[in-house]
Structure 1
Amino acid sequence: MKKLLVLLLLTTACLNVAAIFPNDEKIDTKKGVIKATIMDGKNNIPIEYANVTVHNSKDSSFITGSASGKNGELLIPNLPDGNFYVKVSFIGYDKTIIPNIAITPEKKEVSLGVIKIIPTEIKMDAVNVVGEKPTEEYHLDKRVINVSKDNTAAGGTALDVLQNHPSIQIDQNGNVTLRGSSNFTVLVNGRPGVLQGSDALRQIPANIIDNIELITNPSAKYDAEGAAGIVNIITKVSAYDNMSGIVNGGIGSRTKYNGDVTLNYKSGDWGLTGSGDYRLFSNTNYQGYDRYTSTNTGTLYQRADINQNFRRKNFNAKVGVDYTISPVTGISFTNSIGRFAFNGTFMLDGSDQQNTSSGTPKYTTNQQLSDITADYFQSILYFNHQFNPKIDEFTFEAVYTNLFQPNLQTAREYLTDSNHENWSTNPNTIEYDNRTTRNDGRIKLNYSYKFNEKSKFESGVQVNLAYRNFDYLFRTFNWNNNDWLIDPTYTNKFDFRNNVYAAFATYSNSFEALELDYQLGLRAEQTDRLLHQITMDKDYAYNKVHLFPSVNLLKKLDQAQQLQLSYSRRINRPFEGALNPFPNYSDSYALVIGNPDLKPELINSYELNYQNTISGVFLSAQTYYRNTENTFQQTALVGPDGRLNLSFGNIAKTYSIGSELSAGFSLAQWFRLDPSLNLYKTHLEGKLQNNSYEQNGFVWSGRLRSTLYFSPETRFQVAFFYTAKQKILQGEIDPLINLTLSLRQEFLDKKLVVTATAQNLFKTGRFKLFTDAGNGTLLYLTANPEAPIFNITISYNFNNFKNTSKVNDRVDVNVNSGF
């Protein structure tokens, strides 16, 4: 309770500070105002960020301008008396001009009503291509990826959407990094799930996604967690009364199936949404591993050929209800249940030669079976109330999530001959059973006040509660007695609490004379972390308050150019697996031990961005600099028994500087190119076992997406992605290449869509890693993902489906813990 009181006091103080900010954008009631709503003339939906400019009717000189809001609303204040015309433009739409607008002493306010702009039609010999949203859009604080423009996403997940984006890198196991960092936050409609990272992205069907926002330098309004920023997935929304829905089904090579259905009903003040999805995905992967260790007597050599077969199966069902109590008050309640199952077979054929010059190799086959299931339930309550319509608003949100996740892994090690045949009887057999229970909660209260179209104050308090229980049971099979024996070396229990108490305030306005928009913010977060190691009877606590300021500046150089500068501070808190000090058995080659003294990483992030449009060619340059204190890295050291000891430590300081260059243009009316390039330099310095490490690396990655329009209903897409060699603390990663082809065909006035995709056609997605583990040990890993992969997806949309639920969270399950 004391913590909540401190946060409330901080918010109150921020309110008092905001009250003394100058209000540069007050509306002068003695001057003219133009109001309107911008809509899509074909689909009758609001258009956000449409560019609207006011010009003098006499000489066409520019007077002022603005952009439409989220619901298409537009307000242009402080106009002098005179005769004007308004120009409305938006990418993919015809320019629209509204003439004969007069501001007079008698009539200061002019309402243009609804302005409908029409999608551009490009006429060719027998083809009419209707203008569409660009693949990507750039806004003040984020980059928006329009999912419907990516053929390769059909039938896939959010992970498939992002895999060809230059800011995103994906390794051979599907783990994602954003601008070189694996620490980013995944939100769905602004709300986090249970877990994060690639597992969150892997479970969200692409067909229900409207767009994905990459917020690489978030303001103080957002949780500070996530060094590289936020990936916010926006699902389809609408506000029209109807019964509508969408049904999707897909089939892919080597046992890949997916299907989902979403139904929506909205009538008057009530809205109901129900959905269900099922996904079965099988994957194969081959890896080769070589280890060389130099000793006084010779060289130790180990070789492993690894074949992995994974099968992921998940089901999710959701029911939500929205009720509009009054024009200024609404409430929604959503419940989700689901089950996730993961089965994996891991076969390792190994050879172990203690001395390459004289020793006799030992040949083994290791078989590991993994069986992970997770049953989860999530409930979300959301309430909003506007005290003064379109001026101030209060929102309340409460989320509860319960998850039970048993994880059973069985490993057998057989002695074999040199061909890995003639397996021995009575193999060394172990069983690893982890039962995890999670109870998470989130309470959030926000208040915003809009002084005018430019000036806005927002503040709030938030509590994130995380209580988790872990029960690890490690057993070995005794062939003499034909029973299982508990091994106390690795069997342990621990409880983990990781609560965060936060408060924030932001203020935005504009310096009219400089045509400079700004936003200032401050966030305070208290980390309350406790790991109670029950088996060791020891507590490891961490409790500290951190401040996270943010600054965002936007300067419009002219109607086509803008410049943005931003700064934010972020935090990366270690997960429980990296903290548990009890040994966690991996296999006879490696052992994992956590570090309970790990501190959070603290990141300072700066960005300078520039956008321009020249003769129909869109150009963007996003530059960034990020330095990190207390960087924790996974370490690989050889122990006294010859096994690798994998652990974690705050052993390095890092910085990265880079630039993302993007463009979009048409070479012909039927052919569009969207190239992009990401260049970044990294510097890492650290100390491990009295050995100093320092690395400087330059990495670049590029993406080229080409789209051919054969007709308004048919398009063919080629996406090529390349990542150059990367440096890591103890080694390097070879270049990565990915090629995807897709064909999309629409029927029945776009209600029925069929998409075919082909990935990794030429087996170019090979992953190679080199690691210097110290003490004369060198490691080499090569991974060959499944190739090629084919997929066909069918999607049917009836009654112009848009998902109307205000709440659309999904539960994410981490299946990689313990591997």
Structure 2
Amino acid sequence: MKRLITLLLALIVCSSLAAETVVKGRVFEGKGKKTVEFANVGIYRSDNKLVGACASDCDGNFEIKVHKDGDYQVLVSFLGCGSWTKKIHCTGGELDLGKISLKEDNEELNAAGISAKTLIKRESDRIVYDVSADPDAARMNMSAFMSKVPGLKMSVKNGDLEFRNEPLDKILIDNKDNGMINKSRQYPMSFIRADYMSKIELILPNSPEYNNSSPMVVITLSKPLPYGAAGQIKEHSTSFNSHSATPDAVINIPLIGIGLRYSFNYASEPSTTNEYSRTSFDSDGHKTSVMDGSDYAKSNSRGHNLNMNLFRSMLKDKANVSASISANTSDSKTHSRSNTETLSSGSNTTSSSSSERTSYSPFRLNAGFKANYEWKRGNDITIKYTLKNSDSDINETLTLSDWDRANHSSKSDRQQNVSVKARLRPNRKIGMLLESGYMFRDYDDKTTYWNGDTGGMNYTQGVAYSNAVILGSLFKRKLGYSAAFNAERITNRGVNLLTSKSLDYDEINFIPQLSLSWSFLNDYRVWASYTCRSRRPRQDQLDPYIDTSDPYNIKTGNPDLKGENTHSFSGSIDRNFKARWIDYLSVNADYSITPNSIEIVSKVNDNNVRTTSYENIGEHSVLSISLLGAFKPLEIFNINFKASYKRAHYQVSGNEINNISTFSLTQSASLNMKFAYLSQSLIIYPAGLSAQSKSLRPEPLMDVSISRYWDKAHFGGTIGVEDALHSRSHRKSTLRSNDFLQESWIQRAGRKIYISVYWRIGKFKQTETVKHTSYDLD
């Protein structure tokens, strides 16, 4: 009995010693009017050992958990606002320090012998978090630790990181691509301690260094990633009979690292029926005929993709080598019907047709190799080679007036790219990027038509390119800049098999770029850039195959297309707020002009037959203004929005000019409750915008979902509804040219229910971090 009582007393004492105290407060500037974001908060033992740290959020709030009772000292500091310190006694429960006003006088801080640690800071184009200065890194995994960076968190819906509800564009490890952790393979971070990182850099959109349109993350490691293995399975199904599954696994052993991924998709969605009415005009603008028609389409498809990547670091992590091999196959089948009625010169003509189209793409090998060597700090050279292959075999049977016509097509695409890239950084304030490479494409498209004619193209394209970038920062990294100059020589060789016309032409492009990003007054960021972008036509745009499955609406490619060059001028000003209900606002303005823009253009002949193809039109320019913002009415409730106005100008031909104004809105909201995560998104956009569009109507699309993630089981799931506002109704669109006017009613797929689940598993052999062993973290 005495032993039992002694044991119970020991348990009680241990429980009291392990009682957890939550220390919280809100940080203000010295006058007590404005809250302070990114204030550094640290809790120290009596021997000045750091036991807990964090940074205040946009409202100045902070919260730190202390795992043992006793006497501690709290230090709050922020550069330019001063500091604040106070002795506390932790006994478990919650300890609210209330309103904390920072003072410029640091005499008390100096007397205490405590040196403030800066956890987080904002630079011109990024937010930097010093993981090595935070003792929580030894007891949190990498994925959970990311939420310490303001605005960055793991999405409950899919388990991937996002910033302000926007998915990341890229994840780099030590500023390089990594085979174990990257954008498409984030789950290993759920099983690796955060102290394997020394620094997290959240790169904001439009960084002069990375030229990124979406946020991205750069992780600097404190030691090599551990040995072990992890895996993930994702599955997505909808009420429209579409399904996808993606198992993925990675193993890291001393000899080599191996990643494996397999994906399968199947879709057999409901059929669609569209209607249209087309009026043709003569050269004087008089009506010549009116055609009313409809088309029906039903398709199903499936595909398989298998990928393996190998990676390894050597020479004390100075050299990195990776290789990848992938193969994919797919097949599809489409059945379509069309009916038309034409009124011309007082007489009616009706016709109908149907088609059956099957496509098969066999397994083809794709491969890649990359080697990187790094010396000193921030200097490296990378050699990269990629090989891409794709083939497809297409059979099409057309039935017109009880007469069957059979066409057979084969398409192949071979692409190879080799490049050398060097990154040089003489000092922290300036750097250079140099890249040279050669890309080769080989398109081989051949069609045997029902009448014995042979069409298609043999087409090769070689692109030799060189890029040079100078980048750096000034004024304590508050101003970032980059200037780039790219040059490319393009050699095109080919022949149109139907007309025997040569497709040869050469061109040289010089592509300058300039970008500036300035962060000032702690809360403002200004960004401006000029870019020139060269875009070459795709294979489907060049392919001269004539699709006559609907004889009155013909589609074809244009092998005579030339590349396009777009000049863009962009700028924005962002403001971060310290109010409880608003996070930030941003105003963006963009202007772009493309003299030889590649656009979809339709024409009709004397019989009111419409032919749609691609053309280099005279000019396409766009002026757009947008307003972005994030609101936080409650601690668990977030709202994001983006409202845009766009004015587009198309010069389709010498006397055919089209100006169109559009408005779009993107809004999302999330409610993070204890038992589930509720989200809603709304997109209002002009559907079907093209060079000949008229009278576009905004199209609202709403998605509503409920998600849950079980942290201990590493299992997440989502149930949602897409396009919740619409049934299987029709939306209207209008095309207008000098020789025709067409009004179309396109059938929506309508609301559909979807279910997504993902499950993760992993185990890594992780070494203890010596730096934190002296801290009282138990």
TM-score greater than 0.5 by the shorter chain:
yes
State whether residues 274 and 747 of structure 2, in contact with CA within 8 Å, keep that contact through their aligned partners in structure 1. Answer: yes
The question of whether the paired residues in 2 share the 8 Å contact of 1:217 and 1:568 is answered with no
* Distance verdict in 2 for CA 1:116–1:188, change over 3 Å: closer
Alignment CA distance shift 1:208-1:655 (3 Å) = farther
Residues 1:771 and 2:735 are matched in the alignment: yes
What amino acid is aligned across from residue 650 of structure 1 in structure 2? N
Q: Is this contact kept in 2: 1:375–1:405, CA < 8 A?
A: no
**Who is 1:326 aligned against?**
315
Q: Structure 1 pair 58/189, CA: closer, same or farther in 2 (3 Å)?
A: closer
1:448 equivalent in alignment to 2:423: yes
Q: What's the CA shift for 1:368?
A: 3.8
Q: Deviations over 1:149-177 (max 9, x none)?
A: 373x689xx9xx99x989xxxxxxxxxxx
Residue in 2 that maps onto 1:705 = 668
Hey, what does 1:412 align to over in structure 2? 399
Residue of structure 2 equivalent to 1:302: 291
Q: How high is the TM-score relative to the length of structure 1? A: 0.68
- Which residue pairs with 1:149 in the alignment? 155
Provide, for residues 247-297 of structure 1, a one-character-per-residue CA deviation record: whole Å limited to 9, x for no partner: 122322131222111111112352111111111122233311212235799
Over 3 Å counting, the alpha-carbon distance change for 1:217 and 1:243 in structure 2 is: closer
> Quick one: structure 1 residues 661 and 58, their matched pair in 2 at CA, closer, same or farther if it must change by over 3 Å?
closer
Distance 1:360 1:513, change over 3 A: closer
How many Å apart are 1:342 and its aligned residue?
2.1
Aligned partners of 2:128, 2:150: CA distance in 1, in Å?
Answer: 26
Residue 382, structure 1, aligned to residue 382, structure 2: no
- Cα pair 1:53 1:88 within 8 Å, conserved: no
- Partners of 1:309 and 1:596 in 2: CA distance: 29
Instruction: Note if contact 2:307-2:325 (Cα within 8 Å) is conserved in structure 1.
Output: yes
Cα displacement (A) at 1:246? 0.5
Q: Deviations over 1:63-97 (max 9, x none)?
A: 9xxxxxxxxxxxxxxxxxx9963332489xxxx99
Q: How big is each residue's C-alpha offset from its partner over 1:28-53, in whole Å with a ceiling of 9 and x where there is no partner?
A: xxxxxxxxxx99999xxxxxxxxx96
Verify: 1:555 aligned to 2:518, yes or no: yes
Of structures 1 and 2, the one scoring higher in RCO (CA 8 A, sep 6+) is: 1
- Counterpart code for 1:337: A
Cα deviation 1:522-546 (Å, max 9, x = unaligned): 1111111122224433322121211
Name the amino acid aligned to 1:115. D
Letter aligned with residue 723 of structure 2: N
- List alignment gaps of at least 5 residues for structure 1: 1-37, 43-51, 64-81, 99-110, 122-128, 138-145, 167-185, 191-203, 223-228, 415-426, 476-485, 803-819
Provide the rounded CA distance (Å) in 1 between the counterparts of 2:578 and 2:83.
26
Equivalent of 2:262 in 265, 276, 287: 276
1:349 aligns with 2:339: yes
Match of 1:240 in 2: 226
Deviation at 1:331, TM superposition (A): 0.7
- What RMSD over aligned residues (CA atoms) do the two structures have, in Å? 4.4
Structure 2 CA distance for partners of 1:365 and 1:136, relative to 1, 3 Å: farther
Distance (whole Å) between structure 2 residues aligned to residue 578 and residue 250 of structure 1? 31
Tell me, in whole angstroms, the C-alpha distance in 1 between the residues paired with 2:585 and 2:521.
15
**TM alignment of 1:354-503, pairs within 5 A:** 354-355=344-345, 358-386=346-374, 388-414=375-401, 427-475=402-450, 486-488=451-453, 491-503=454-466
Matched AA of 1:778: L
* Distance change >3 Å, CA 298–CA 661, structure 1 → 2: closer
Q: What is the alpha-carbon distance in structure 1 between the residues aligned to residue 748 and residue 687 of structure 2?
A: 18
Change (3 A) 1:242 1:89: same
More displaced stretch, 321-330 vs 590-599? 590-599
Q: Secondary structure at the match of 2:302?
A: strand
Inter-partner Cα distance in structure 1 for 2:353 and 2:172:
47
Q: Distance in 1 between matches of 2:646 and 2:363?
A: 41
1:719 counterpart (681, 686, 696): 681
Distance 1:322 1:658 in 2: 43
8 A Cα contact 1:209 1:236, kept in partner? no
Cα distance in 1 between the residues matched to 2:744 and 2:241: 27
Deviation at 1:757, TM superposition (A): 1.4
Contact preservation (8 Å) 2:473, 2:481: yes
Q: Distance in 1 between matches of 2:588 and 2:658?
A: 24
Matched, 1:508 2:494: no
**Aligned pair partner of 2:618 in 631, 637, 652:** 652
What is aligned with 2:243?
257
Match of 1:783 in 2: 746
Post-superposition offset of 1:351: 2.6
Structure 2 unmatched ranges of 5 or more: 1-52, 56-62, 65-76, 85-101, 106-112, 174-182, 190-201, 766-778
Give the letter for the 1:301 counterpart.
Answer: V
Distance 1:376 1:300, change over 3 A: same
- SS of 1:587 mapped into structure 2: coil
Taking structure 1 as reference, are residues 256 and 635 closer, same or farther at Cα in structure 2, changes over 3 Å only? closer
Superposed displacement of residue 114, structure 1: 4.2
Q: Cα deviation per residue 1:701-750 (whole Å; 9 max; x = unaligned)?
A: 11221111221x51111111112588643232322110111110222526
Structure 1 residues 154 and 784, CA, compared in 2 at 3 Å: closer, same or farther?
farther
For residues 175-233 of structure 1, what are the alpha-carbon distances to aligned partners after superposition, in whole Å with 9 as ceiling and x for unaligned? xxxxxxxxxxx99989xxxxxxxxxxxxx9899899xx9998797988xxxxxx97899
The aligned residue for residue 41 of structure 2 is: none
Runs of 4+ in 1 over 6 A off after TM superposition: 38-42, 56-63, 133-137, 186-190, 204-210, 213-222, 229-238, 295-298
Is 1:662–1:676's contact at 8 Å kept on the other side of the alignment?
Answer: yes
| Residue type of the alignment partner of 1:659 | I
Larger radius of gyration: 2
| Number of aligned residues | 629
1:472–1:493 Cα contact (<8 Å) kept? yes
CA distance in structure 1 between the partners assigned to 2:690 and 2:387 by the alignment:
38
The aligned amino acid for 2:235 is: G
Confirm or deny: 8 A CA contact 2:333 2:356 kept in the other structure: no
- Structure 2 CA distance, aligned partners of 1:471 and 1:374? 17
CA drift of 1:470 comes to 0.9
Q: Which residue does the alignment assign to 2:134? A: 115
- What is the TM-score of this pair, normalised by structure 2? 0.71
Q: Residues 540-689 of structure 1 correspond to what in structure 2 (within 5 A)?
A: 540-579=503-542, 585=548, 587-592=550-555, 594-615=557-578, 617-688=583-654
- Does structure 2 retain, via aligned residues, the 8 Å contact 1:316–1:336? yes
Q: Distance in 2 between matches of 1:668 and 1:245?
A: 36
The residue type paired with residue 280 of structure 2 is T
Residues 339 and 62 of structure 1: is their aligned pair in 2 closer, same or farther, counting only changes over 3 Å? Answer: farther
> How far did 1:788 drift?
1.9
Distance between the aligned counterparts of 1:242 and 1:520, measured in 2? 42
Q: Which amino acid aligns with 2:636?
A: W
Map Cα deviations across residues 288-314 of structure 1 (whole Å, 9 max, x no partner): 121223579975332222222222311
**CA distance change for structure 1 residues 279 and 714 in 2, over 3 Å: closer, same or farther?**
same
Is the CA contact 2:466–2:488 (under 8 Å) kept in the aligned structure 1?
yes
Cα separation, 2, equivalents of 1:580 and 1:391: 44
In the alignment, what sits opposite 1:31?
Answer: none
**CA 1:456 to 1:748, structure 2 compared with 1: closer, same or farther past 3 Å?**
closer
C-alpha distance in 2 between matches for 1:275 and 1:670:
36
Counterpart contact for 2:335–2:354, Cα < 8 Å: no
**What is the alpha-carbon distance in structure 2 between the residues aligned to residue 150 and residue 299 of structure 1?**
58
Identical pairs, percent:
12
Deviation at residue 604 of structure 1 after TM alignment: 0.9
SS of aligned partner of 2:562? coil
Is contact 1:264–1:271 with CA below 8 Å preserved after alignment?
yes
Residues 348 and 366 in structure 1, CA contact (< 8 A), matched pair in contact too: yes
The Cα of 1:345 is off from its aligned counterpart by 1.9
Shift of residue 792 of structure 1?
A: 1.1
